[in-house]
Each structure stands twice: as C-alpha cells, then as structure tokens.
Chains A and B, each alone.
Chain A
Amino acid sequence: AQRVTQPEKLLSVFKGAPVELKCNYSYSGSPELFWYVQYSRQRLQLLLRHISRESIKGFTADLNKGETSFHLKKPFAQEEDSAMYYCAYSGGGADGLTFGKGTHLIIQP
C-alpha cells in the first residue's frame, strides 16, 4: 500500500538550533512530494514541493529516491516555525494527496 511515514509525532528544539523533520514514502513510481504546514488556528497551506526545489521560510527538502525520503530541514529554527508539518505525496494525475500523520514542531525560546 502507498504510505507516507513521519516517524516523529512531536519534535521540540531550541530557537537557533537546526531542525530536521523526517518523511519516508513507499511508492514505486515517480511521486510528487509536498510539505504542508498548519499554524495554530490556520488552514493547511503549502510550504514546499519537491518539483520546485526552492527554499521557503528558510526550509528546504531534498527528494532522495534511493532512500525514498523527503526530509524537511532548516539550519536555524525560529519561534514562528512552531506548527504541525505534514508530508504528502501524489501518485500523479488527479490523485488525491496521501498524507503522513504529521509532526508537531515546537520551538522553545
């Protein structure tokens, strides 16, 4: 079955420390991968997509097909990064997104 795994339910780091939120997927084709973020009391919003290879709010994510991973990284965490982060993929076409369970990131002052 197609699956997205985010092993950490909760990740707490201090402000200024590096952050890595892990995401692994199981899919045999060429998936499209995304990171969505949900700040407190706000809607799910796109943070990154692998196809654009961009850095948003200091976050980057590299698709590693060999390890089937799409980990989200930021070198220096900020307090405003505290939120729920969801890794998701699409198998193609008009497929719905398959989400991981999410990681609650808490940045301590």
Chain B
Amino acid sequence: EPEVTQTPSHQVTQMGQEVILRCVPISNHLYFYWYRQILGQKVEFLVSFYNNEISEKSEIFDDQFSVERPDGSNFTLKIRSTKLEDSAMYFCASSESPTGGGQPQHFGDGTRLSIL
C-alpha cells in the first residue's frame, strides 16, 4: 500500500538556523498538508497546498514558515529562523481530493524537530 514518507525522522538544529523538512506524498494525491504536534499537546494544522499554491493556513503558519513543491514528488516545509518553541513532531499528509468531500488524509511517520 502506498505511503507518505518523511525525511529525516529526527532533526536537531541550533536556534536561529533554517530547517527544511521533506515529504513525499502518495503519488496520485493532489492535496498536501503539514501539521505539528508539540509534546503533550494535540495535533495542529499548519497549512494545506493544492495546485502549487497555499489553500489554507492557520495562525501558526507565520512568515517564518514556507512550503514548496520543488518537483513532481517532494513537498517541503521550511522554517526560516527556528525558535525553541518550534520543537515538535511535524507530520505531512496528503489526500486524493478535498477532505471536505469525506476523503481521508494519509499521514507520514513524522519528523521530530528539536531546537537547541
């Protein structure tokens, strides 16, 4: 069964540095998402992406964050200047069509980001 893959599984970065988290969505999916989960808290939506542009973003997704689909397979989340509070598990997800139509999102294993 096809899966969403994320790399790396764990990223350790110094505060203030840029970090790029990578995701390969399921190949025939058209909608892509990033979520984060701070330790002990709930999974929070960051951004959705369709047709090479952002569809929706939450208030967490400020100017420090950006997303890109640099080629036909990768979907990346960049944090420009990391802060301690960016430490979290980051999940990528994809879906074949909009979730509003009842389509499920398929999640990757996540990248644990640790900011020192």
Binding site for B on A (CB under 8 A): 32, 34, 36, 43-46, 49-52, 86, 88, 90-102
Contact = CB atoms under 8 A, between A and B. Distances in A.
Contacts of A34: 104
Nearest to B58: A96
Contact of B44 (A36, A50, A94, A99): A99
A43 B107 contact: yes
Interface of B: 31, 33, 35, 41-48, 50, 55-56, 58, 91, 98-102, 104-110
B107 A44 contact: yes
Contacts of A101: 41-42
Contacts of B107: 36, 43-45
B69 to A, nearest CB: 14
Nearest to B107: A44
Contacts of A46: 104-106
A34 B106 CA distance: 12
B107 to A, nearest CB: 4
